[in-house]
Amino acid sequence: MSLNLDSKIPSGPIEDKWTKHKFDMKLVNPANRRKFTAIVVGTGLAGSSAASSLGEMGYNVKAFFVHESPRRAHSVAAQGGINGAKNYKNDGDSTYRLFYDTVKGGDFRAREANVYRLAEVSGNIIDQAVASGVPLAREYGGLLSNRSFGGAQVSRTFYARGQTGQQLLIGAYQGMMRQAEKGQVKLFPRREMLDVVIVNNRARGIIVRNLITGELEKHEADVVIMATGGYANVFFLSTNAMACAVTAGWKAHKQGALFANPCYTQIHPTCIPVHGEMQSKLTLMSESLRNDGRIWVSKIQGDTRKANDIPESDRDYYLERIYPSFGNLAPRDVSSRQAKYRVDEGRGVGGKEAVYLDFKESISRLGQSAISERYGNLFEMYEKITGENPYQVPMRIYPAPHYTMGGLWVDYNLMSTIPGLFVAGEANFSDHGANRLGASALMQGLADGYFVLPYTIGNFLASVGNTEKVSTDHPAFAEAKNRVDAELSQLLKIKGSRSVDSFHKQLGRIMWDNCGMARNEQGLKKALEQIPQLKQEFWNDVYVPGDNKSLNPELEKAVRVADFFELGELMCRDALERNESCGGHFREEYQTADGEALRDDQAFCNVAAWEYKGASVAPQKHTEELVFEKVKLATRSYK
């Protein structure tokens, strides 16, 4: 069976598509909206903004989240900024330029129409944030400040010091809490979505586990929105928060939602390296540091000298050497991969996975106070974590998994292949192609929640009507609940000898070594043998203490890791079948003579969307061809 992946891109010129579509879509009369209920899973930027917007319109919203408070979702940790094509700086920015940069930055693997809409609403997001009280950075004249970010040639990034994600999330959260007070949004804290319920080929509810009591709850609705984030924690060590997981998305995938481009992962070049076996997560250092820091390693393999004892003549400033024009500012994927090559050559700091980021030259040129003014808080954070003073010794950095561009396949309306199941934010695949540009994740999350879903959800609900209500007594709810119950009971029954974390770390290592910054056929095939073996061992030998009647963090982790095994396998399969290099997906077999990514636009100018076929059956790949009408396919070059 081949699925028809209809992207439902509206006809007409790209500049008019969204406007035309907004007019063509059906509306729900304000008086009728209270007759509909929407479930929103996840309360990061996409989930909070969707819940508050739908509540404001008059829909009944039920918001579910794993934390005790919706404000704790991982959007809170984003540092850098949010793009908005306001052209406040009069430096040539426009909707078209933001669109163009995003398509190119995504290495021509994103859908043009979606990206254009994203750029189109980017300015409205800034307005909405300001009106909600988000304290974005300002100039002395009182107007909003912008900076250039991630190598962009225009200043279009709005920011709130290094805490832009926190401030935007609190803004969206406060909007949602206002609706909670009015009774339009009902909050369900400490609930984890463990399955989607489908009735008559339409998503009609979810099964959640109450993390405090262990109870499995059935919730029905007219439409289900998943804003459940990314899956970088498949690597165990990533910059994601500990609870970030693929579980909600994976359960939907197993019920029929296609999973698109799982191999597109972003590895951020400047993170604090691993300190030892007990490392639990990695901390990002803003890449703005690369504006003044020089990246180097020793020219000598296995050099054990201290950084300050290594003379200039023995230092290899490899990014400046290989990319003379971009130097230390080479894009994220390129910088990350080059760091990996140095470590593979045995030239990492102290033989470990780390390279130096050195401010000595900038400090002697600009003075310590100038550097401190620019990066003081980052230097403090670095010292807090490592115990080393970066004014005196070079920082040690290494790339770490940071964001996942892949996710559940959605059409232009953000609806998955399950009717009535919408997916927003990092959880969907739609806007970033094979590589996300800096300051674009926050933009996408809020675009989906504030300005896309409020329209497309209405269109869907108006189309299906509200006569066909279902209750949680429907057998489909009992069936889904039984599926979840069986999995939880199984995990608790094994009582083997190894902890959940020990398996997760081992899986993470396989993924990092074989499906990380650089991939090749041999490694991916090896991973595809190792992962199922480890998965089997997990299901035979994991030890999950306690029961399912109270708070049990180990059980929560076990469910998530079980799904990461299956996702990891799909990521490797996707990476193996994509015989080209693009953005965050670098296949060593496909590179130019200079070692740059070599796309194959003949064979792979498409979205790979995978269909789950059963536990012991290989998944089936479907493709959506990508058509570039506006932006000409070209090779990225940073030499």
Of 163 and 440, nearer to another protein (C-beta) is: 163
Q: Is 133 in the site for another protein (CB under 8 A)?
A: yes
Among 161, 299, 525, 639, binds another protein (CB under 8 A): 161
Q: Work out how close the CB of 242 gets to another protein at its nearest, in angstroms, rounded to a whole number.
A: 5
Q: Position of tokens 């299956």?
A: 566
Smallest gap, in angstroms, from Cβ of residue 69 to another protein? 5
Q: How many whole angstroms separate alpha carbon 450 and alpha carbon 425?
A: 11
- Note whether 177 binds another protein by CB under 8 A: yes
Catalytic residue among 332, 337, 519, 599: 332
The stretch among 238-246, 578-586, 607-615, 623-631 that binds another protein (CB under 8 A) is 238-246
**Should residue 130 be labelled a site residue for another protein when binding is judged by CB under 8 A?**
yes
Output 88 or 565, the one with its CB closest to another protein: 88
CA distance 578 to 289: 33
Q: Contacting another protein (CB under 8 A), which of 147, 254, 281, 621?
A: 281
Quick one: which of 68, 91, 361, 577 contacts another protein (CB under 8 A)?
Answer: 68
Interior angle at CA 283, CA 528 and CA 280, nearest 5: 60
Distance CA 545, CA 210 (A): 18
Closest distance to another protein from the beta carbon of 29 (Å): 17
* Cβ–Cβ < 8 Å for 443, 452: no
Q: Is 606 in the site for another protein (CB under 8 A)?
A: no
**Distance set, CA 239 to CA 231, 286, 408 (Å):** 11, 12, 21
- Spatial neighbors of 294 by CB under 8 A, at least 6 apart, are 317, 320, 328, 357, 358, 359, 361, 362
8 A C-beta contact, residue 425 and residue 410: no
Chain positions 334 to 373 lying near another protein, rule: CB under 8 A, are 350, 352
Q: How many CA atoms lie within 13 A of 249 on its CB side?
A: 31
Does residue 35 bind another protein (CB under 8 A)?
Answer: no
* Shortest CB 310 distance to another protein, Å: 14
- State the minimum distance, in angstroms, from the CB of residue 338 to another protein: 23
Q: List the structure tokens of 102.
A: 């995003």
Near another protein in 425-454, by CB under 8 A:
450-451, 454
* Residue among 51 and 608 whose Cβ is closer to another protein: 51
Q: Report the site for another protein in 84-103 (rule: CB under 8 A).
A: 84, 86, 88
The interface with another protein within residues 469-508 (CB under 8 A) comprises: 499, 501-502
d(CA 66, CA 43): 9
**Cβ-based nearer residue to another protein, 123 or 151:** 123
Measured CA to CA, the distance from residue 462 to residue 251 in angstroms comes to 27
Kindly identify the residues of this chain, within the stretch 242-261, that bind another protein according to CB under 8 A.
242-243
Of 385 and 634, nearer to another protein (C-beta) is 385
Stretch that binds another protein, among 21-29, 171-179, 258-266, 520-528 (CB under 8 A): 171-179
Nearer to another protein, 189 or 595 (CB): 189
Question: Binding another protein by CB under 8 A: which of 25, 144, 329, 478?
Answer: 144
Q: Which one among 189, 327, 419, 532 touches another protein, defined by CB under 8 A?
A: 189
Is 376 a binding residue for another protein by CB under 8 A? The answer is no
Does residue 614 belong to the site contacting another protein (CB under 8 A)? Answer: no
Q: Which is nearer to another protein, 350 or 595 (CB)?
A: 350
What is the DSSP secondary structure assignment for residue 434, as one 8-state letter?
T
Member of 7, 87, 163, 328 binding another protein (CB under 8 A): 163
Q: How far is the CB of 86 from another protein (least distance, A)?
A: 7
Enumerate residues 205-224 that contact another protein by CB under 8 A. 212
d(CA 436, CA 429): 11
Minimum Å distance from CB 40 to another protein? 14
Q: Which of these ranges, 12-20, 121-129, 329-337, 483-491, lies near another protein under the rule CB under 8 A?
A: 121-129
CB of 317 to another protein, least distance (A): 23
- Sole binder of another protein in the list 7, 60, 122, 128 (CB under 8 A): 128
The contacts of residue 444 (CB under 8 Å, 6+ apart) are 46, 118, 425, 426, 431, 432
Q: Which part of the chain contacts another protein (CB under 8 A), choosing from 80-88, 228-236, 313-321, 531-539?
A: 80-88
Using CB under 8 A as the binding rule, the residues of this chain from 510 to 569 that contact another protein are: 543, 545-546, 550-551, 553-554
Distances, alpha carbon 446 to alpha carbons 44, 121, 248, in Å: 9, 10, 20
Q: What is the amino acid identity at position 434? A: A
Candidate residues 3, 35, 100, 124; the one interacting with another protein per rule CB under 8 A: 124
Using an 8 Å Cβ cutoff, are 381 and 285 in contact? yes
First to last CA, the chain: 45
- Answer yes or no whether residue 142 interacts with another protein by CB under 8 A: yes
- The CA distance from 515 to 68, in Å, is 34
Task: Pick the binder of another protein from 15, 314, 320, 388 (CB under 8 A).
Answer: 388
- Residue 290 annotated in active site: no
* Residue 613 in contact with another protein, rule: CB under 8 A: no
**Length of the chain as a residue count:** 639
Q: Residue 52: what residue type?
A: S
Interatomic CA distance for residues 100 and 633, integer angstroms = 11
- Tell me the number of residues near another protein by CB under 8 A: 87
C-alpha angle with apex 130: 125 to 136, nearest 5 degrees? Answer: 100
Q: How far is the CB of 544 from another protein (least distance, A)?
A: 9
Question: What DSSP assignment string belongs to 369-380?
Answer: HHHHHHHHHHHH
Q: Which of 33, 74, 219, 251 binds another protein (CB under 8 A)?
A: 74
Distance (Å, whole) CA 609 – CA 115 = 19
Q: Of 204, 225, 243, which Cα lies nearest the Cα of 51? A: 225
CB-nearer residue toward another protein: 175 or 433: 175
DSSP three-state, residue 318: helix
Q: Assess contact for 597 and 581: CB atoms under 8 A.
A: yes
The first and second tokens of residue 155, run together, are 């200043």
User: What proportions of the chain, in percent to the nearest 5, are helix, strand and coil?
Assistant: 40, 15, 40
What H or E segment, with its residue span, contains residue 521?
helix 521-541
265: nearest Cα among 579, 534, 568: 568
| Residues marked as catalytic | 332
